[in-house]
Structure 1
């Protein structure tokens, strides 16, 4: 679509090379998303910083991954859905829950379903949710902190999902078997 360079540490702008090196050290490879974000040191730093901050939210790893998948579903990002499907498996998210979110269906676990619905509503409605949406989220055991923590996850995915839309980021090898076809609700405006 748009000719974005898929950088490596040697070709990345100076402000991005150190971040790519730290990703390489942490993950043993550099995902294509990071390699494309490297074109803008500010965008790469923003994403890397938000990713780190997201780990500090009130959510467990399972909850964090369910929320990420829900946000990704709403944003229809095929790259992130494939990646986060496998990251969710690594975080011990139940396959039935992963498949439900990937298919746009409810999750059997009531608390995770409340999180899925709220994260989806926040993303779809750009943060404009009804009092009944908030009440349902809180009734499941979440609080105001969790509502704001959903925003941290949504901001993180905004950068990655939108980058992948703009760049048509190629899937990484570790995503094999987790490919996904988006529902197709989002269409570019001519």
Structure 2
């Protein structure tokens, strides 16, 4: 067992208590991963600014990215959280599973973004021209590419935090899949 306890409101700074109150009012609770960010005095505000910044991507595209990144990185916390958030953004349970496997046969444009994201995440940014061409052929732009890369970084940060701390998952468990291998095409 890792020696990380999830901080509660009384354990954190006044600044982080305000963030906990805001999260509680928006989500109904403070997810353990956000509370764990509060082990640092400054990280919750910094992370939330990063995660909630403006982007050229839709919420559905961001959730597709979050699902495949979390699968490739083996983060069970984020797989669970983004399965729920994916459903809240219009995906079915089966679609969240398909996205975590690295495809989106139900939507060609999402398929291109998921395959690009899988390749970026799994290969640490070293991808083939073919993967990039498919992404652009699907109608995405260079701005979208930069926003995908930023989203990968943001989600990887949370994946790493959970994978290191192993704090309890406080979302319904996502279906177990084999870890997804990177796209090499």
TM-score using structure 1 length: 0.86
CA distance in 1, matches of 2:136, 2:92: 23
Unpaired runs of 5+ residues, structure 2, are: none
Aligned to 2:34, what secondary structure does the other structure show? helix
Q: Which residue of 2 aligns with 1:45?
A: 45
Partners of 2:72 and 2:121 within 8 A in 1: yes
TM-score using structure 2 length: 0.88
Aligned to 1:21, what secondary structure does the other structure show? helix
Q: 1:136 aligns with which of 109, 121, 134?
A: 134
Unpaired runs of 5+ residues, structure 1, are: none
1:61 maps onto 2:56 in alignment: no
Q: Which residue of 1 aligns with 2:119?
A: 121
Q: 1:179 aligns with which of 161, 174, 185?
A: 174
Q: Which residue of 1 aligns with 2:5?
A: 5
What pairs with 1:1-190 in structure 2 (closer than 5 Å)? 1-53=1-53, 56-102=54-100, 104-108=101-105, 109-172=107-170, 175-176=171-172, 178-181=173-176, 183-184=178-179
CA distance in 1, matches of 2:80, 2:64: 13
Partners of 2:75 and 2:162 within 8 A in 1: yes
Partners of 1:47 and 1:159 within 8 A in 2: no
Instruction: Give the CA deviation at 1:142.
Output: 0.6
Instruction: Give the CA deviation at 1:58.
Output: 1.3
Aligned to 2:79, what secondary structure does the other structure show? helix
Partners of 1:50 and 1:155 within 8 A in 2: no
RMSD: 1.9
| Matched pairs, number | 180
Spell out structure 1 runs of 4+ moving beyond 3 A: none
Aligned to 1:10, what secondary structure does the other structure show? helix
CA distance in 1, matches of 2:176, 2:110: 23
Aligned to 2:81, what secondary structure does the other structure show? helix
